[in-house]
Amino acid sequence: MIKINFQDLPNRTTPIRATNLNQMQDNIEEAIEEVEANIPNTKNAHTSSTTDTYNCNYINKLTDYSTDETIVGKWIDGKNLYRKVMTVAIPNTSVDGTFETAEYTVDSNVDTLLIKEAYREHNEGKHSPLPYISDGGYFIKIYNSRNDKNKIVIANSWHGSSDENAIVIVEYTKA
């Protein structure tokens, strides 16, 4: 690449002329070729490969939210990181302050489990983030099971949430 040092007027050593414009075009084309040579598979980004860092299909999967298990990347230990969305029933309680829990299995072979987001799905079609605390101080919360790393637990102490579900986004690695 040849650098052209343009000068402001009154200097007239670098006028706009065909030689300088052709050199600028050559420099741009050379820079584009260099970038394409150093970024793998940019010319073939339309493939369905899920291992090509610059592949559009792979990148699009990073924002997929599905009830099916989806590989979304690697965890810090190098294992595949999976994501899935679960719809779970909020356990019913008939009296405010009565603590009810329910456990739900994420996968039978979990090594590391992260609860990324969780929402209470109201009967009116609205969503509230969990943990949820009512005006009276009663709560709905979600957490990892202490007894089984394959499970999540949802706890409820508020009777106003009967017959409602929680939407839970989990990411996990497998043993």
Q: DSSP labels for 50-73?
A: SS-TT-HHHHHHTT---SS-EEEE
Question: Cα(72)–Cα(37) distance, rounded to whole angstroms?
Answer: 27
pLDDT tens-digit readout, 128-161: 899 988 888 888 899 999 999 999 999 998 876 6
Check whether 45 has a pLDDT greater than 70. no
For the chain, the domains span: 1-38, 69-174
Mean pLDDT (whole number) for 82-105: 89
Give the CATH number of domain 69-174.
2.60.40
More confidently predicted of 25 and 61: 25
> Which residues have C-beta within 8 Å of that of residue 49, sequence separation ≥ 6?
41, 55, 57, 58
Q: How far is CA 61 from the centre of its chain?
A: 9
Tell me the range of 15-19, 27-31, 61-65, 140-144 where mean pLDDT is highest.
140-144
